[in-house]
Every structure is written in structure tokens, then in C-alpha cells.
Amino acid sequence: MLVGLGVIPVLLLSWVAVRRRQHRLLSAFADPHLLPRLGRGARLRFPSLPFFLYLVAIGLLVFASSRPVAAIPVPANRAAVVVALDVSKSMVATDLAPSRLEAAKQAVREFLRSIPRSAKVGLVSFSDYAQVLVRPTTEHQDVLDALERLQPIQATSIGSAILTAVRALPGRETAGQELLNQQQGTLPLPSPSPPPSAEPLPPGAILLISDGVSTFGIDPMQAAEVARRVGVKIYAVGVGTPQGSVQEVDGQLVFIPFDPTGLQRITAITGGRYFYPPTSEDLRRVYRELGRSMAWERQRTEVTFLFAAAGGLFILAGGALSLAWFRRLP
């Protein structure tokens, strides 16, 4: 659409040619001393101003048709929730139909339906390690798309899930570094006192969905302590039935337990809640208890309306001057 801006110089050259022709015609049939009195516009200081206002309006409207985008500051809620979803092999158990993993996915969908569209939500999947699939965003469809691609993998590391989810929340990118160092054997675990912060961290929470049995990696209780120190509450949803499930895994029948004890302890450490089975009201409560922290953030936003409105104003101004000076439009 920006190619249409080429009409601007064409119109300008055409206007110059017409003005020259009018001047020649006037010179041929009138005394040069009388020319200043032939037209009302001739006595004005800027008689061509309406035309240039129309020209600017055309340029603005053509530019608006290209749908420009700009990074403009908008008020945004910095509070965020990260969903940490268990994709270990134990989630293939069918004590919840059709499986624990599908039941967990349905809980995430219900959570996204129960919160405002402006809420920032991220997604972390975990098995024997955790990875950030979607960082906190208001584009909930990105979370749903990533959710559909999840498949069961290996073991369960709830501690890694908590630590990764905490570090995905705004302002907490370095949280738990000492715990990672201890896990890697590079440094001893230092004192749990948090570093001083110049400004308060935005509200953050984790919605942990698992069958509750951690079998690998970082101690979940130490990870929960890190979350508590940086002001992150953990809400947990248990997935499974008390009697567990007997399931064929890799060609062998195995008993897959459901143990919510660890999840309950994690939520108690951080001041969160444990839900089993979760209701829509429970999931809404996660975001309602999160709180708000408004700030100005730059977001890429389509600004077509600004250029279209400016073009309309220039057209109105040109028309008003044309009516006042020459009694005609345009």
C-alpha cells in the first residue's frame, strides 16, 4: 500500500502545471497591474494552503492503509502466572479418563477460560528436566498451541519445574542460582537471605499440575523455599486417584501411585493452596489472589487509527479554508 504514496509527487507536479497555465491565461487577457484584484485568493498570503492540506491528508490516508505498527507505551498488569505441567511417564495412567495428562491439559484450558484475557500466563513442561515453552504473555492461544504438542517423556523432577517456573516470572531471572550451583556441585548452598531489591517484584504465582511423585533432580522443598523468598506462591492441582493405577509401560505392568503429600507441603511453604479435584472457582482464585501491579510497557500496536484520524482532520481543515476563502470545495 505504500506504493500509493507515489501519487503525492504526481499531484504536486500536476498542480504546478495547472497554476502555470492559469497564470499564462491571466497574463494574456488582463493588464498585469490588475492581476492582484482578479480573484479573492490573490489577496491572501497563502492561497495554496487548502491544496497542501489536502495533499498531506492524502499522504496520511495512504500511509494508514498500510496498517503501520509502533511500539507505544500502554498500561499493563505486570502480575503473571506460570503453569508447570507434569509430562512424565506416570501421566499416562488412565485412573483419570482418558489419562492423567489429558486431564491435566483440560485443567489448564479451564484455567485460561476462567481468567481475564489481559492476564499474563506462561507454560513450563517438566519430566526429568524442565523447559519454558511459553514465557508469560497475554497471547493465551500460544499457551494452548504449546499445550497440544505435549507428550509423556521420562521421570519427574518437581524441584526443577518450580525453579524454572520461578525464573520465568518477571524480575526473577536469577532466582535460585545458589540452588543450581549446589545441584551441579560447584558451590555450597549459601544463606537463604534474599538480595536487596530497589523496587518490589511484580506479583507472581505458579500453578503446578502433577501426580505428586518427584523421582529426580532438585529437592522440591528447597525449590519451594526459593519461590517463597522471591514472593511466589505455588498453587498445586493433584492429578490421579488415591488408589493409583496399574499400567503397562514399556511392555511391563507397573503400579503408578498418586501421592499428593509433596504437593501439599510445597503449597504450605509458599502460602498457596492445593486443589483436588480442582473446580472452576478454585482456578479463578489463583489469579484473583495474585494481585495487580500496573506499569507502563511498550507494546507493538497497530496505529492505523491515528494516521486515519490525522488525515481526516487535515481534510476538514482544508475544506474549511477553501469554503472561507474561495466559496467552493475542494
**Omega prior to 330 cis, within 30 of 0:** yes
pTM over cut 0.85? no
DSSP conformational letter for 289 = T
What is the bridge-based pairing of β-strands 120-126 and 232-238? unpaired
**Omega prior to 260 cis, within 30 of 0:** no
Q: Which three cell numbers stand for residue 191?
A: 544463606
Q: How far apart are CA 131 and CA 135, in angstroms?
A: 10
pLDDT at 198: 54
pLDDT at 297: 74
Per-residue pLDDT in tens (0 to 9) along the chain, 330 residues: 888 888 888 888 988 898 888 777 767 766 666 666 655 555 566 778 888 999 999 999 999 999 999 988 877 788 899 999 999 988 989 999 899 999 999 999 999 999 988 899 999 999 988 999 999 999 999 999 999 999 988 888 999 999 999 999 988 988 878 777 776 655 454 444 444 455 688 899 999 999 987 888 889 999 999 999 999 999 999 999 999 888 776 778 888 889 899 999 999 999 999 999 888 889 988 988 887 766 777 778 899 999 999 999 999 999 999 888 888 777
Buried b (16+ CB within 10 A) or exposed e, 144-164: eebbeebebeebbbbbbbbbb
pLDDT at 15: 85
Q: How far apart are CA 176 and CA 223, in angstroms?
A: 7
Gap between the terminal Cα atoms of the chain: 25
Contact yes or no for 72/217 (Cβ under 8 A): no
Q: How far apart are CA 136 and CA 161, in angstroms?
A: 15
User: What domains appear along the chain, each with residue ranges and CATH number?
Assistant: 2-68+303-326 (no CATH), 74-295 (3.40.50.410)
Enumerate the H helices of the chain as residue ranges: 7-29, 49-64, 100-114, 140-148, 158-168, 177-184, 220-229, 261-270, 280-288, 304-326
Q: How far apart are CA 75 and CA 170, in angstroms?
A: 16
Q: Which three cell numbers stand for residue 144?
A: 494452548
